[in-house]
Structure 1
Amino acid sequence: MPETRRADARRNYARILAVAEEEVAAQGADASLEQIARTAQVGSATVRRHFPTRRALLEAVSRKRIEALGARARDLSGAADSRAALLEWLGDVVAYCVAARGLAAALAYDGAGAGPVHENSCSAALEEAAGPLLRRAARDGAVAEDVTVADLITLSVGLALATEHHPDPAAASDRLFRLAVAGLSPRG
């Protein structure tokens, strides 16, 4: 949030974000914006002024996790085994999407249209951070050259959303992730 806003607007933003973090953690991506407004003791219009779309709210709630995943990609970029580094990072993305309610929705492509209000800053940040990791793995012949970071994010989101109601979503998503990486062919 720009520091040029009035002090009360900055306080409202911080209060709304703190409440939203709690609500999304408890309710997931479908947390009630009206409940967030009530708990933050602001009007619904104030919430929408700061977060014009649900995605904008989810992205703000997920920002720290996205920064951590970006830092993780940068840390792994110098690893000796480029494929192992990429898969370790991707496994972290899947695990984060499963553990951090709302993150998968923040990363998902929604097709809402063009324009700054619909841009997906979470996915863009991950694509920028993981691009060198993926390019190195492709250059090493460890990953198909036509794979994109967007593909990997979509896979992660799909695994998280497909397993969110499973009794053990972390184990189920990890199993499916390993299956996706290994392929369907028998080991031999």
Structure 2
Amino acid sequence: MSTGQRADARRNYAHILSIAEHEVAARGAGASLEQIARTAGVGSATVRRHFPTRRALLEAVSRKRIDALCVRAEELTGRGDSRDALLEWLNGVVAYCVSARWLAVALAYDSTGSDSVHENTCATSLEDAGQPLLRAAVADGAVAAGIGVGDFITLAVGIVLATEHHPAPDAEASRLFQLAVVGLSPPR
């Protein structure tokens, strides 16, 4: 949302986003854009003008969580054991995705459509935030070279989506992520 927009357009955007946050929280990534429009008291064309794709809507709804993860990465960079710092941050990514299933969908890569990884601002923000943590861990020999932050995000998203219907999705996602970490780590 541009700061150069009219005040009523900014208010309209904020109102639609607020409704969208509630709908997505209640119904997940498949929340109806038409229902969001009805609840917001606007036409579906207005919702689509602000959020031209479902991914755009999910990214807007996810922005606060993504920003919090980026801040956390910055806080952890340069503190203590580099591997522990990276894993603490990545565990936070997994936990956020588990608590908000739609966040995993917003982070999912779709290289076949117009919303490619290069246009996925959520994933790009997380990759940029995690780079210093990963660089430090690789430099310390705590993480194997050749692994990218995008690899970890893809892994986290896959685990979260795979455990979605598990009786204890948070515990199972955490367990599987820890199992994967062992496989991604160089021998000690």
Distance 1:107 1:70 in 2: 14
* Count of matched residue positions in the alignment of Structure 1 and Structure 2: 183
In the TM superposition, residue 112 of structure 1 has moved relative to its aligned partner by 4.4
1:171 has 2:171 as partner: yes
Q: CA RMSD in A?
A: 1.6
Say yes or no: does 1:47 pair with 2:32.
no
- Counting only pairs closer than 5 Å after superposition, residues 1-188 of structure 1 correspond to structure 2 as 1-114=1-114, 119-183=119-183
Unaligned runs of 5+ in 2: none
CA distance in 2, matches of 1:52, 1:102: 17
Structure 1 stretches of 5 or more lacking a match? none
Distance 1:110 1:44 in 2: 25
1:7 positional shift: 2.1
Q: After TM superposition, give the deviation of residue 141 of structure 1 in Å.
A: 0.6
Identity of aligned residues (%): 69
Task: Determine if contact 1:24/1:101 at 8 Å carries over to the other structure.
Answer: no
Question: Is contact 2:101-2:160 (8 Å) kept?
Answer: no
Give the letter aligned to residue 179 of structure 2: L
Residue 183 of structure 1 deviates from its aligned partner by: 3.4
2:166 partner amino acid: H
How far apart, in 2, do the equivalents of 1:169 and 1:18 lie?
Answer: 27
Whole-angstrom distance in 1 between the partners of 2:101 and 2:183: 28
Whole-Å separation in 2 of the counterparts to 1:112 and 1:63: 24
Aligned mates of 1:159, 1:128 — CA distance in 2: 21
Deviation at 1:111, TM superposition (A): 2.0
TM-score for both structures, normalised by structure 1: 0.93
Q: How far apart are residue 115 of structure 1 and its match?
A: 7.4
